[in-house]
Amino acid sequence: MEAISKMDIRQSAKKVRLVLDEVRNAKVNDALNLLSFTNKVAAKNIHKTISSAVANLQNSEESFDADNLYIKEAFINQGPTMKRFRPAAMGRATRILKRTSQLTIVISDEKN
């Protein structure tokens, strides 16, 4: 049995990937514990997504053992980029790219 959870994040995929590599292929309880003590903004969003995947599994299955759940897949894709402009010196404008990303977490009771 497996469950999927997705989230759109207002942060670049490169920054989120640094934290996501730490919890990939780990037990769910260990990953949630590690993320709660990680000092990155991305850790909060990854923690929410994993918790949502566990809740999705709880709604779909009557009985499951939360201690035997693993993160089967965890990947981040680049989302749409918002383009903004900021005034610069000598009447120019500089471009600001506000990047977004799309996080997908798949949890399962079997390890790969």
Provide the CATH number for the domain formed by 2-108 in this structure: 3.90.470.10
| pLDDT tens figures, 15-35 | 999 999 999 999 999 999 999
| Cβ burial 38-50 (10 Å sphere, 16+ → b, else e) | beeebbebbbbbb
Per-residue pLDDT band at 108 (split at 50, 70, 90)? very high
| pLDDT tens figures, 87-98 | 999 999 999 999
**Is the model's pLDDT at 13 over the cut of 80?**
yes
| pLDDT tens figures, 35-88 | 999 999 999 999 999 999 999 999 987 777 888 999 999 999 999 999 999 999
Radius of gyration of the chain (CA): 17
Question: What does the pLDDT read at residue 63?
Answer: 78
| Structural domain boundaries in the chain | 2-108
